[in-house]
Structures are given as C-alpha cells and as structure tokens.
C-alpha cells in the first residue's frame, strides 16, 4: 500500500511540475510578439477560413485558460487574453482550438467518440467514488452482498472516466499537430515564433498525459480496496 501512496505522491509532484512549467512557458512566449501583428482571434478566423469552415464562430470568453471548442454550438471559445493578444502563445492556443473545429468538420473519429462519452463521463466522475465508498462502508457493516456490487458499479463508472482521459490524448495531440502544420504551411509565424508555439503546445499536451496516468492510479487504488476487501 505504501508503494501506491508513493506513486500517487510522485504523480501529484509531476503534475504540479508540468503545470508550473506550462504556465512559465506561456508567460515567456506571451512576450514574443508576432511579426504579422495578428491577434489570437484573427488567427483563429483565418485558420477556419483556410479550411473552408464557415459555420463556426470565434468568440471571446471570460477567464484564464478557458479556451475550448464547443461542438454543440460550433464555437471556438478563446479566453480574453488569447483572443486579444498578438504573441506566439496566443497563436498556439487559438490554432489548437481551431484544430478541434477542423476535426469536427472532417468527422475525426476520436473526437466523435470523446464527444459521445461526455454525458456519461459527467455522471461517472461525480458519483463513481461515492458509490465505491458507500459500497465499502455497507460491506464493512453488513458483509459482502449487494454492497459489493454497488462498489463494483462505482469501479465500472470510474473506469469510464479513465478511458475518457486516454481517448482525450490522441484528440489533443492531433489538434496540436493540425495547428502547427497550418501555422507552418501558411508561413504564419517566424522561425522563433513557431518554435515558441510548438513548445507551448508540447507542454500543454503533457498535462493531459499526466492526468491520464493519475486517473489510472486512482482506479487501481480503488480496485485494490474493493477486491482486497472482498477477500476478508
């Protein structure tokens, strides 16, 4: 069991380190102005136009790191800083989010699969752990029976969330690859600016990888609690 706690601690430490590195990278590349003088919003609009996508809107959304593509209403939502600023970091984020819009327009299978899982993941992420804990408590009080299956149901729901984190990986990496390919092929950035955009997206992708590994560790922990307890 101590090995598990050491693993969780290591994952938490790596997650913090990657997140801190990502923030520092974006702060650094936010100071690298674009030679073309385009804002993140303008870059997003041009990338959509270059891909022949006419039914997606680019809008500014409040907050920081709130950038996302919403396939339900076909909007590229850029945080205020990304939407308005004219630097390598803003260019990277804007192009990445449009990368998701391109995936949607071209019916990228993994994006469709991930979108279909969202409703279930919203439920599973909110109740799975409570089902497991409730099942374990009931099992300790009344013995193995229905309680065991309640805990198993919680594990199954938690596994859905874990699968979702791994499906997210190719979706995010592909969106970044599409963004970088467009930025390079259209000669949108100078060599220095492109290097900054590429580095920013590389570190952003690592946050998803750490999250997926952490999700697996959590699933394994609760599986040990359920199946280990069932043998007592």
Cα distances (Å, whole numbers) of residue 23 to 26, 28, 63, 65, 169? 5, 9, 15, 10, 20
The pTM score is: 0.86
**Per-residue pLDDT for 208 more than 50?**
yes
- Which residues are tagged catalytic? 97
**Per-residue pLDDT for 9 more than 90?**
no
**Per-residue pLDDT for 125 more than 70?**
yes
- Looking at residue 105, what is its pLDDT? 97
Which secondary-structure segment (H or E) carries 222?
Answer: helix 191-229
Per DSSP, the residues of 164-215 read HHHHHHHHHHHHHHHHHHHHHHTT-S-HHHHHHHHHHHHHHHHHHHHHHHHH
Which secondary-structure segment (H or E) carries 91?
Answer: helix 88-105
- Looking at residue 28, what is its pLDDT? 87
pLDDT, averaged across the chain: 91
Question: Which DSSP state fits 86?
Answer: -
Question: Is 50 in a helix, a strand, or coil?
Answer: helix
């Amino acid at each position: 069991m101590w090995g598990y706690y050491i693993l969780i601690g290591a994952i938490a430490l790596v997650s913090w380190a990657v997140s801190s590195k990502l923030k520092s990278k974006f702060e650094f590349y936010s100071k690298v102005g674009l030679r073309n003088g385009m804002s993140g919003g303008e870059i997003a609009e041009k990338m959509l136009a270059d891909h022949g996508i006419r039914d997606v809107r680019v809008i500014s959304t409040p907050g920081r790191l709130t950038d996302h593509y919403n396939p339900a209403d076909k909007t590229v939502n850029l945080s205020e800083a990304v939407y308005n600023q004219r630097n390598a970091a803003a260019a990277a984020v804007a192009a990445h989010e449009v990368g998701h819009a391109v995936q949607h327009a071209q019916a990228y299978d993994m994006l469709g699969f991930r979108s279909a899982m969202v409703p279930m993941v919203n439920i599973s992420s909110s109740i799975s752990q409570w089902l497991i804990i409730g099942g374990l408590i009931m099992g300790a009080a009344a013995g193995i029976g229905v309680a065991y299956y309640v805990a198993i149901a919680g594990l199954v729901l938690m596994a859905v969330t874990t699968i979702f984190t791994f499906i997210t990986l190719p979706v995010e990496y592909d969106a970044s690859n599409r963004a970088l390919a467009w930025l390079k092929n259209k000669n949108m950035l100078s060599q220095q600016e492109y290097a900054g955009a590429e580095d920013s997206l590389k570190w952003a992708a690592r946050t998803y990888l750490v999250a997926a590994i952490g999700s697996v560790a959590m699933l394994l922990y609760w599986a040990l609690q359920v199946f280990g307890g069932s043998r007592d």
